Amino acid sequence: MNVNGKHYRTIWMEGSSVFMIDQNALPFEFKIYKASTYLETCCAIKTMITRGAGAIGAAAGFAMAQAFQERTNNKKNPWRQGDTQKANCHEYATEQLSFFENARLKIEATRPTARNLFYATEKVFTAGLKSPGAAMAEAQKLANENIDEALKIGEFGNSLIKKGSRILTHCNAGWLGFVDYGSALAPLYVAKTEGKDFFVYADETRPRNQGARLTAWELQNEGIPHKIIPDNAGAYLMSRGMIDLVITGADRIAANGDTANKIGTFEKAIVAKEFGIPFYVAVPFSTIDFSLTDGWQIPIEERDEDEVLTYSGPDSEGVIRTIRMASPGSAAFNPAFDVTPACYITGFVTEKGIIEPNKISSFR
């Protein structure tokens, strides 16, 4: 995506540092966050400086590559110093492997629902056991594949968008949620380049407001007509015949097609089915977890209650401040995701084409 005339990826790696667009600062400020160590990249994933299935996967892959680089470049590392006798001993090899395994566990603990995160760490960890260079190459490969997948998702999904289509989205599955182009918004971007006339309603997506802050920012940046709506307005719009298509992303999909996505997605799917509105989920195959038979097995991340109880934004002087917006003394429950059963999903828009939920398992 281009921002102020310059093309950016959402996340990239240079040397031993990972750079990412700071999504916590958007839409009020566009800035780049630098993570110099794998633990800093872990923190960026956990605190949602970078977010979205594809971007999380890329970040996890880069973090794993950083861990291999950091251990190898450590001045006290006898492998680096050429102490052949000690480097070849079993005790040292065990210590080395333990470091990498612990790093992998720390990375995977940052966002436990996101399948792409586990997919990337597994791939880069396996490559890193050969060499740090192999880990870096694998992480870069996964990031590039994420872009290619998003482009294909956009091309296949474009067929769903007709002239005059009114589309409802939930959360943000655009360019910021991938390394580039996005998943749920990728078909919209392709449709825009083809000159199609359509309109987007973006759920605000509480409590982090990804729709109001990120999806809306992306759509505005691309010149796509849109309006932000409250999360609980979707049923009203659908009942009034104001929505023709619902399209979302996903963070993990079970083998039977049950889908975990940002909390509130399940409600939209139920209402869409009630009114006969197509409900599509746009994802690359790396988001599908074939080891899980159904959605009940998907781990659901629970985040800090402050995300529900407080809100951050600029004051009249442009200073970002956090205020409490709920009753003092009240606690909050903050599940980050819900699971939409496959029976409510019309189809999956993937890099392999549009697939019906009951066909997912055949790609195992």
CB 78 within 8 A of CB 39: no
What is the identity of the amino acid at 299?
P
Residue with tokens 């009753």: 327
For residue 110 the two structure tokens come to: 């940052």
CB 315 within 8 A of CB 324: no
For residue 188 the two structure tokens come to: 């919209």
Given the residues 180, 203, 231, 251, the one annotated as active site: 251
Residue 179's SS3 state is: coil
What residues have CB less than 8 Å from 183, skipping those under 6 apart? 53, 54, 150, 153, 173, 177, 249, 250, 282, 283, 284, 349
What is the identity of the amino acid at 319?
V
Question: What span, in angstroms and rounded, lies between the C-alpha atoms of 47 and 98?
Answer: 26
Q: 165-169 and 245-248: which strand pairing? A: parallel
For residue 65 the two structure tokens come to: 């590559």
Q: Is 203 a catalytic residue?
A: no
314, 316, 317, 319: CA torsion to nearest 10: -20
What residues have CB less than 8 Å from 29, skipping those under 6 apart? 22
Q: What are the DSSP calls for 299-339, one per residue?
A: ---B--THHHHEEEEE-TTS-EEEEE-S-TT-----B-EEE
For residue 128 the two structure tokens come to: 């890193």
User: CA 59 → CA 27, 55, 115, 257, distances in Å?
Assistant: 21, 6, 13, 25
Active-site residue numbers? 251
